[in-house]
Chains A and B, each alone.
Chain A
Amino acid sequence: LAKTTQPISMDSYEGQEVNITCSHNNIATNDYITWYQQFPSQGPRFIIQGYKTKVTNEVASLFIPADRKSSTLSLPRVSLSDTAVYYCLVVLMDTGRRALTFGSGTRLQVQP
């Protein structure tokens, strides 16, 4: 299972763009990259997933370089409500193992 490494914490201000980078050096061909968000006292919530290049949805963008050894979650114009823990996961898409393994995550604090 590919191990992920991401910063423990980040600080930002309202209105700024936040980029959280995750490294996954031993990612396998059949692995997808996915990001989750967790607010206090709630379960994690899916944000975005990707395999390569760039993916964008209404919440965030995910940038994945050609070698796929890292990925960057981009949150445009953050607000106070984006304060949360963000988890980067590598998920095997082969049959037989579909579990999601969470690392330590990045604690994002957005200041006014």
Chain B
Amino acid sequence: DAGVIQSPRHEVTEMGQEVTLRCKPISGHDYLFWYRQTMMRGLELLIYFNNNVPIDDSGMPEDRFSAKMPNASFSTLKIQPSEPRDSAVYFCASRYTGTGHMNTEAFFGQGTRLTVV
């Protein structure tokens, strides 16, 4: 498996524009996570899905942020409209937690570096 794949790797956009970040988790993984990392706030959990269903979106900063997982192999994180304070590295991660599987290992993508000007 190629691991968790995120696209684009870098995104520069103007304030007010819509931004869509994409993630392909590792096949067979049942959990998918979206994180945001900045120098000031560190690595923050935004939202996570279990079997394509959103479980906890309490980390989503505001209504401008939305995430979907239409199927087991694809997820998006959308920001509309984008603002300069959204500039950060956004990571997607996936994890397998099958029955009786005591495994805390999550696999992270390379991240998308978003710059909003």
Chain A residues at the B interface, C-beta cutoff of 8 Å: 32, 34, 41-46, 49, 51, 87, 89, 91, 93, 97-105
Q: Is B7 an interface residue (CB 8 A)?
A: no
Q: How far is the CA of A65 from the CA of B93 in the complex (A)?
A: 30
Q: Are A46 and B43 closer than 8 Å at their CB atoms?
A: no
Q: Are B50 and A98 closer than 8 Å at their CB atoms?
A: yes
What does the 1/0 interface line of B41-77 toward A look like (CB < 8 Å)?
Answer: 0110100101000011000000000000000000000
25 residue pairs of the A-B complex, CB under 8 angstroms, read A34-B104, A41-B111, A42-B108, A43-B4, A43-B109, A43-B110, A43-B111, A44-B43, A44-B108, A46-B105, A49-B103, A49-B104, A51-B102, A87-B43, A89-B104, A97-B55, A98-B48, A98-B97, A99-B45, A100-B33, A102-B42, A102-B43, A102-B45, A103-B42, A105-B42
CB-defined contacts of A100 to chain B, threshold 8 Å: 33, 45, 93, 95, 104, 106
Chain B contact surface mostly: strand
Q: How large is the interface on B (under 10, 10 to 19, 20 to 34, 35 or more residues)?
A: 20 to 34
Q: How far is the CA of A98 from the CA of B30 in the complex (A)?
A: 10
Q: How far is the CA of A103 from the CA of B44 in the complex (A)?
A: 9
